[in-house]
């Protein structure tokens, strides 16, 4: 057995997790990190304050960086590993959860269903332009009365000759008002089916939901469908059950298991730097035992959650990751990221409540991340079912 090393661990990578990444993964991670540091971080506090983002510019930039649908093969997509997608999600969410949302909704929720369940013609028509960020997509599953239980949806489509007529509404849809197409899940006589709805379809509206106190650097909308007529080649032919939308959620939840640790890392690093600078009682507050405890708890949580995410990524790339294991990552990393953000907020004192620092913004965003893509309770029950064999939902 070798002796222990006496090298000082890096406070930003205490367990040397970087050593677990390939050169290619480090390069991709650093590229995204530098984009976020230069193009997102200087502005995102203002975007959040104003409740907007330059979605078109960002989508084009992310397209150029090869990040839209990056883990999908073909049709102009980068075809990276799942782990690489996860590492990119960490960096994006270190900027803001809303920025990660823009990318994950586009790739995992709008492009993925077309890639997985679409016809060859649908894939050729939409995916290359979506990968470039020329076409923005959104994902309509949730309704005002069907959140955790999307199978109770009322939005429906009926055949009319060779067309479909879509009626109903969706709620809380990321990118809804700025999307060029919406992938909408609706009840039909044949089961739950996915429709590609172009935003200029007569009868389709997407009003923005205002006055949000969380995820403000992200557009959230209602979608309404009043007798929207769609030709048959706008329905995804490959699925007619809840397996369609739930498969998409696997993709996005996987990215969130990583991404949440980006937000947490940003909070920890902000608190560490602040505590070393801020002097009270003639000493930096980082010298106080209670503050050191907070910093260490945050550091340990971020490292542990990052290793968990990486483990899930490796399992995914080996083709053996299950939805319940994705629930483990989403459940544990998001709740812990929220704890880190709250702790960091306390280290910053009054400054912690301003938008001059990213901490409160992350903390507030993480309340949404805790709820969307399956609430903490839903993931608890999915894992509960897995370990007991008993279904708590019905
Ligand atoms: P259940 O009756 O168990 O199954 C129905 C069909 O689906 C299949 N299935 C899955 N397929 C793929 N992946 C999974 N994880 C799957 N889970 C189930 C199943 O095999 C069956 O297939 P088939 O072909 O035999 O019909 O499903 P259920 O309706 O009882 O589901 C229960 C539950 C709780 C798991 C589900 O309702 C659920 O996940 N609820 C949470 C809803 C949710 O997460 N919504 C997220 C909306 S999107 C969003 O929040 C985007 S945020 C965007 C951003 O990042 O900005
Ligand atoms: P509800 O389902 O009403 O849940 C309320 C509470 O009850 C929660 O605590 C929940 O855990 C609990 N609960 C529910 N059922 C059970 C149970 N069986 N046992 C124990 N507790 C239970 N959806 C999309 O389709 N596309 C999007 O792009 C999208 N983007 C979003 C963006 C934002 C900013 C937000 C806030 C939401 C977004 N959503 C989107 C919706 C999101 O997925 C839902 O909010 C989420 O699934 C929860 O549904 P709900 O809000 O209706 O809560």
Is the domain of 271 the same as that of 191?
Answer: no
Among candidate residues 91, 222, 251, 373, the one labeled active-site is: 373
> For residue 233, what is the DSSP state?
G
Is the domain of 95 the same as that of 111?
Answer: yes
Is the domain of 112 the same as that of 161?
Answer: no
Is the domain of 229 the same as that of 161?
Answer: yes
Domain that holds residue 168: 137-240
Q: Report yes or no on 24 lying in a domain.
A: yes
Q: Are 227 and 378 in contact (CB under 8 A)?
A: no
pLDDT in tens, 160-188: 999 999 999 999 999 999 999 999 999 99
Q: Are strands 181-188 and 191-198 parallel, antiparallel or unpaired?
A: antiparallel
Split into its structural domains, the chain has a count of 3
Query: Which CATH number do you get for residue 202?
Result: 2.40.110.10
Q: How many angstroms does the Cα of residue 374 sit away from the middle of ligand 2?
A: 6
Look up 373 and say whether it is catalytic.
Answer: yes
Longest dimension (CA), the chain: 80
pLDDT in tens, 78-120: 999 999 999 999 999 999 999 999 999 999 999 999 999 999 9
pLDDT in tens, 112-146: 999 999 999 999 999 999 999 999 999 999 999 99
Q: Residue 108: nearest ligand to its CA? A: 1
Question: Measured from the CB, is residue 357 less than 6 Å from ligand 2?
Answer: no
pLDDT in tens, 232-266: 999 999 999 999 999 999 999 999 999 999 999 99
Percent of the chain with pLDDT over 90: 99
Q: How many angstroms does the Cα of residue 209 sit away from the middle of ligand 1?
A: 25
Q: Are strands 163-174 and 220-231 parallel, antiparallel or unpaired?
A: antiparallel
Is the domain of 233 the same as that of 287?
Answer: no
Q: For residue 379, what are the CA distances in angstroms to 130, 262, 322, 375, 382?
A: 30, 21, 13, 6, 5
- Whether the CA torsion 87, 261, 95, 148 is positive or negative: it is positive
Q: Report yes or no on 46 lying in a domain.
A: yes
Is the domain of 88 the same as that of 183?
Answer: no
Is the domain of 236 the same as that of 248?
Answer: no
Is the domain of 116 the same as that of 85?
Answer: yes
Q: Strand, coil or helix: what is 159?
A: strand
Instruction: Considering only CA atoms, give the Rg of the chain.
Output: 21
Which residues, 6+ apart, have CB-to-CB distance to 28 below 8 Å?
80, 84, 87, 88
Question: Measured from the CB, is residue 148 less than 6 Å from ligand 2?
Answer: yes
Q: Report yes or no on 341 lying in a domain.
A: yes
Q: For residue 220, what are the CA distances in angstroms to 177, 195, 239, 338?
A: 7, 20, 27, 21
Which atom of ligand 2 lies nearest, measured to the CA of 378? 11
pLDDT, position 373? 98
Query: Which CATH number do you get for residue 53?
Result: 1.10.540.10
Q: What is the mean pLDDT of the chain?
A: 98
> For residue 141, what is the DSSP state?
-
Is the domain of 206 the same as that of 301?
Answer: no
Which atom of ligand 2 lies nearest, measured to the CA of 215? 34
Which residues, 6+ apart, have CB-to-CB distance to 92 below 8 Å?
32, 36, 99, 100, 103, 259, 262
> For residue 383, what is the DSSP state?
H
pLDDT, position 210? 96
pLDDT, position 40? 98
Is residue 345 scored above 90 in pLDDT? Answer: yes
Q: Report yes or no on 8 lying in a domain.
A: no
Q: Choose the final residue of a domain: 131, 158, 185.
A: 131
Q: Report yes or no on 383 lying in a domain.
A: yes
Instruction: Kindly state the tokens that stand for 24.
Output: 């290619």
Q: How far apart are CA 334 and CA 376, in angstroms?
A: 8
Q: Choose the final residue of a domain: 211, 240, 269.
A: 240
Q: How far apart are CA 305 and CA 257, in angstroms?
A: 8
Nearest Cα residue to 109 out of 233, 196, 204: 196
Q: Report yes or no on 394 lying in a domain.
A: no
Is the domain of 79 the same as that of 21?
Answer: yes
Instruction: Kindly state the tokens that stand for 250.
Output: 């696997």
Is the domain of 221 the same as that of 302?
Answer: no
pLDDT, position 182? 98
Is the domain of 113 the same as that of 208?
Answer: no
Which residues, 6+ apart, have CB-to-CB distance to 351 below 8 Å?
274, 357
Q: How many angstroms does the Cα of residue 245 sit away from the middle of ligand 1?
A: 6
Q: Report yes or no on 393 lying in a domain.
A: no
Query: Which CATH number do you get for residue 337?
Result: 1.20.140.10
> For ligand 1, atom 2, which residue shows the shortest CA distance?
242
Q: What is the pTM of this model?
A: 0.98
| Beta bridge partners of residue 164, listed in sequence order | 159, 230
> For residue 181, what is the DSSP state?
E
Q: For residue 346, what are the CA distances in angstroms to 110, 261, 270, 290, 366?
A: 38, 19, 12, 11, 16
Q: Choose the final residue of a domain: 131, 160, 192.
A: 131
Q: Report yes or no on 118 lying in a domain.
A: yes
Q: How many angstroms does the Cα of residue 36 sit away from the middle of ligand 1?
A: 32
């Amino acid at each position: 057995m070798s002796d222990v090393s006496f090298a000082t661990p890096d406070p930003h990578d205490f367990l040397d997790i970087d050593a677990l990444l390939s050169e290619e993964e480090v390069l991709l991670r650093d590229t995204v990190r530098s984009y976020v540091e230069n193009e997102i971080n200087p502005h995102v506090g203002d975007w959040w304050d104003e409740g907007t983002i330059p979605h078109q510019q960002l989508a084009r930039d992310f397209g150029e960086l090869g990040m839209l649908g990056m883990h999908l093969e073909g049709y102009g997509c980068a075809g990276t590993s799942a782990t690489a997608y996860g590492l990119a999600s960490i960096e994006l969410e270190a900027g803001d959860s809303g920025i990660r949302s823009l990318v994950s909704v586009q790739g995992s929720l709008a492009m993925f269903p077309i890639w997985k369940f679409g016809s060859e013609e649908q894939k050729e028509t939409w995916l290359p332009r979506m990968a470039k960020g020329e076409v923005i997509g959104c994902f309509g599953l949730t309704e005002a009365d069907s959140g955790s239980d999307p199978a109770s949806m009322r939005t429906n489509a009926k055949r009319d000759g060779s067309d479909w007529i879509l009626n109903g509404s969706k709620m809380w849809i990321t990118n809804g008002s700025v999307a060029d197409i919406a992938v909408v899940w609706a009840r039909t006589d044949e089961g739950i089916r996915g429709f590609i709805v172009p935003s200029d379809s007569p009868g389709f509206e997407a009003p923005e939901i205002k006055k949000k106190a969380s995820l403000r650097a992200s557009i959230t909308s209602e979608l309404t469908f009043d007798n929207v007529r769609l030709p048959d080649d706008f329905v995804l032919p490959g699925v007619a059950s809840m397996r369609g939308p739930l498969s998409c959620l696997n993709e996005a939840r996987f990215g969130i298991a990583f991404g949440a640790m980006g937000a947490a890392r940003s909070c920890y690093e902000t608190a560490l730097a602040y505590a070393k600078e801020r002097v009270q009682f003639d000493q930096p507050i980082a010298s106080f035992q209670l503050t050191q405890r907070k910093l260490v708890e945050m550091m340990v949580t971020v490292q542990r959650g990052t290793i968990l995410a990486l483990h899930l990524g490796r399992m995914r790339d080996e083709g053996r990751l299950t939805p319940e294991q994705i629930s483990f990552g989403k459940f544990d990393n998001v709740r812990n990221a929220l704890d880190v953000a709250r702790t960091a907020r306390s280290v910053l004192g009054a400054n912690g409540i301003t938008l001059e620092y990213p901490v409160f913004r992350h903390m507030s965003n993480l309340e949404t991340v805790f709820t969307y893509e399956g609430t903490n309770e839903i993931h608890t029950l999915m894992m509960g079912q897995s370990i007991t064999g008993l279904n708590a939902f019905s």
